[in-house]
Amino acid sequence: MSGNLINSRLPDKNWTPRRIIFTVLFTAISIGINYFGSFLAGLIAFPLYLDSVMTIAVTALCGLVPGLICAFGSNLLLFIFAHTGIFFSACHLSTALIAWLVFRAERKKAKTPGGVSANEKLLSADSFMWAGFLAAISNSIIGDTISTFVYGANTSIPQVDNAVQGIYVVIRSLPVAAYIGGTITNFVDKLVSATICLFIYRFVKKVFSDLPSF
């Protein structure tokens, strides 16, 4: 009895060699895309971060731990090569954690007619939008606080910093300008990222129809 209980708690059936290879490759590729996204954000005129554009997709397809690895690995690359503050990794990590909590809640509520496992059902578009929305809130609170009190309201992304400076000209309060600019930017950025991740998630699940979800 106890042996069956222990075995039922282990996700061994999910950790097939194919699953491991996919998780490692997809997470590594996503880290690279996040890094490239941040580089791209520095070239466009619209104030976006795009440094966690794949984190929600990794969390949806591979689980919490790969999502956290993707989040921290992306920020580590940015810290080494783009001089982004290492403390901003807290924002990335919160994005993965919140996405996992949202997806976990949906899977728990999922009905399983015909014996279909809740983990095998596709996540809804609403869950991705909620993940993006809640991540935007957490990133605004954490990121704007770090930016204001650790880096002098500097994010190292010129378009975002220019937006903050433009607000500062009107408000004349750097902390308030940082919070307003950061909040607006985070909401747009995370909803864009969540939308991209939704399409990537559905594409991967269609191509790899037998790929289980965590």
Q: Which of 75, 56, 76, 81 is nearest to 66 (CA)?
A: 56
Amino acid at 101: L
**Which residues make Cβ contacts (< 8 Å) with residue 61, sequence separation at least 6?**
26, 201, 204, 205, 211, 213
The average pLDDT across 193-201 equals 97
| Cα gap 194→87, rounded to integer Å | 23
Structural tokens at position 60: 């949806």
Q: Is the pLDDT of residue 214 over 70?
A: no
Q: Is the pLDDT of residue 60 over 50?
A: yes
- 105 band by pLDDT with thresholds 50, 70 and 90: very high
| Cα gap 116→100, rounded to integer Å | 21
Q: Is the pLDDT of residue 213 over 80?
A: no
Q: Is the pLDDT of residue 165 over 90?
A: no
- The pLDDT assigned to 57 comes to 97
- 5 band by pLDDT with thresholds 50, 70 and 90: very low
Instruction: Calculate the alpha carbon distances from 130 to 133, 173, 214 in Å.
Output: 5, 31, 18
Helix axes 64-81, 17-41, angle to 10 degrees: 40
Q: Which of 169, 185, 181 is nearest to 41 (CA)?
A: 185
Q: Is the pLDDT of residue 207 over 60?
A: yes
- The pLDDT assigned to 132 comes to 97
